[in-house]
Amino acid sequence: MVVRILMLGICFVAVFISSGCSRVPQQCPQDFAIYSYWNTGALPPEYYYEIEIEINPDHKGTLTYQAGYESESEKENAFQFSVDEKTWNDFYWWLKTNKVFRNNWQESKEIMVGGSGTQVKLQMNGEKYEIPSVAVLSKNERQLFSEIQNHINALVPEEIWQAVALLKP
């Protein structure tokens, strides 16, 4: 009898633990959107370029590649894409799990000079969150920023990155 109760107890605990692991995550907020900006940093105009990625709540995105320091329409290329819902939700939950939705980013006393300029803006539930440039972030925050940037870049289809690679100086 004791063995039977013990086995039932173990089964109950196993079911309880596995049900917590298999919960379906909630959908991300209807207004979830991202904006990402990156540039080459201090380079001569012929080698300088910048990339903006914007993805709206409808999962439709635009990657804009701009060559040189001046905003000239002939040096700008825009690529449209969309992100499937599962990938979009997974990205949102990755951001939430890694506590990215905040405005208290730790900055370094030593600013990186001449490096890439960056900016990431996030929107969720009517709130806006901005991650300062990687040049001013602390070492730990830079590491997280790098992961965020990699995740954002992964939302853009590979064929667009291949087209952008052909445009680079």
Neighbour-count burial of 100, counting CB atoms closer than 10 A to its CB (0-12 exposed, 13-18 middle, 19+ buried) = buried
3 backbone dihedrals φ, ψ, rounded to 5°: -65, -40
Q: What is the pLDDT of residue 111?
A: 65
Per DSSP, the residues of 5-32 read: HHHHHHHHHHHHHHHHHTPPPPPPPTT-
Chunked mean pLDDT (size 10), the chain, 169 residues:
43 41 61 97 91 97 93 87 96 96 88 81 96 90 95 98 95
Domain-by-domain residue ranges, the chain? 33-167
CB 79 within 8 Å of CB 55: no
Rounded Cα–Cα distance for residues 119 and 137 (Å):
11
The architecture that CATH gives domain 33-167 is 2-Layer Sandwich (3.30)
Instruction: Return the SS3 of 4.
Output: helix
